[in-house]
Amino acid sequence: MSTVDEFRLPGVIHFGWAAVERTGEEAARLGGRALLVTGRSAMKRTGWTDRVQSLLSAAGVEVVLFNEVESDPSVTTVDRAAGVARDESCELVVGLGGGSAMDAARAVAAMAVLEGSILDYVRGRAIDRPGLPLINVASTAGTASEITPVAVILDEERELKVGVKSPYWFAQAAITDPELTLAMSPELTAATGLDALTHAIESYLSTRATAPSEALALRAVELIGGSLRAAFADGTDRRARERMALGSMLAGMAFANSGLGLVHGLVHPIGARFGLAHGLGCGRLLPHVMRYNQPAVEDKLAAVGRALTDRESAGADDAVAAVEALLADLQVPSGIADIDIGDEQMPGLAKDGLLAGAVKTNPRAVAEEDARRVLEEARKG
């Protein structure tokens, strides 16, 4: 019997230079009063907060600003912002920034109409209705949170970052404009680019990959693998920035439908407990997880190797080597040898890593001892 695959995306996607100029008109069709959710400084410093506020106002949309999102959006922050949305009678939410701001905006839009705290939903309560309309405007080429229906929220009590997902949570409009990425530092370019590459590779290898998601993911691997070094070396390289933004967006389209894998399971507890930035953590764990998965996906990893090296003879080992070479060129260490993780902490990290839904679509089954073994290999560097 044939299988019918399902594929979902935001209501509309605007991609390209000056795509941000569409923000006002998209907002105006969704409501007359918007909560603008962003971070504490980066968007203000680069002028994009003021620009987006101006675009919304020019379109006749009143703006309420919430600019308190931290690097890992917490339960406390989401609940507070949702309260502002309700108190101010906001009719839609606009997220502006990197993954943290856009994840927070998604959760805030949901919690503006749901009962209780976002913590209830982080811990498993069912999401049974749409939230306020959402527009997400990306400022980095990495998380693709403008595309996906997932919000990663920090459960402060458990020191655990948890991804909450719902088909109700796709944005009504997603805006990916490479112009916003020109202000990224080399370090941020590397971190977000490695996040995007991990999305692409894990999506391609996922047990829920489909023909559309595989095509998008593999093209994303090509774009990111061929452009990240150039964007890192020269942030003003417009061709590299455009290709990185496109690669990130395509990877987001893929993994929003296919799921991810063990890298994203393990990186959340490490990030929550040791402060390792998400994108850097993904990149540093990626070659170790690829080696673990290799017996189950030898042929698909060879395709990744060809996409990364542009060599028809490349195999699965070449895929891992190409990722390690990229890490070295980006001045990012492979593994987590430099993080002071005690032996007594390893079992907890492995156990918590398996709590993430991403592990369910990893191409090779993972038991707790397997997760710990991968972490031990990563700890060797």
Ordered structural domains, the chain, with CATH:
12-180 (3.40.50.1970), 185-379 (1.20.1090.10)
Q: What is the pLDDT of residue 88?
A: 98
125-159 residue pLDDT tens:
999 999 999 999 999 999 999 999 999 999 888 88
pLDDT at 2 over 70: no
CB contact set of 173 (below 8 Å; sequence gap of 6+): 10, 11, 12, 13, 14, 22, 26, 30, 134, 135, 136
Q: What is the mean pLDDT of residues 274-296?
A: 96
Q: Taking each helix axis from N to C terminus, what angle separates 211-233 and 238-258, rounded to the nearest 10 degrees? A: 150
Q: What is the pLDDT of residue 204?
A: 98
Q: What is the pLDDT of residue 355?
A: 87
> What mean pLDDT, rounded, does the chain reach?
96
Q: Tell me the sheet residues that pair with 227.
A: none
Q: What is the pLDDT of residue 162?
A: 87
Handedness of CA 252, 253, 257, 258 (dihedral sign): negative
Q: What is the pLDDT of residue 161?
A: 87
Q: Distances from the Cα of 31 to the Cαs of 34, 37, 64, 90, in angstroms?
A: 7, 16, 13, 8
pLDDT at 250 over 90: yes
Q: What is the pLDDT of residue 361?
A: 97
Percent of the residues in the chain that have a pLDDT greater than 90, as a whole number: 93
Q: Taking each helix axis from N to C terminus, what angle separates 75-87 and 99-111, rounded to the nearest 10 degrees? A: 50
Q: What is the mean pLDDT of residues 221-249?
A: 98
Q: What is the mean pLDDT of residues 114-132?
A: 95
Q: What is the pLDDT of residue 1?
A: 52
Q: What is the pLDDT of residue 61?
A: 98
Q: What is the mean pLDDT of residues 195-202?
A: 98
pLDDT at 112 over 80: yes
Q: What is the mean pLDDT of residues 209-222?
A: 97
26-84 residue pLDDT tens:
999 999 999 999 999 899 999 999 999 999 999 999 999 999 999 889 999 999 999 99
Q: What is the mean pLDDT of residues 249-261?
A: 97
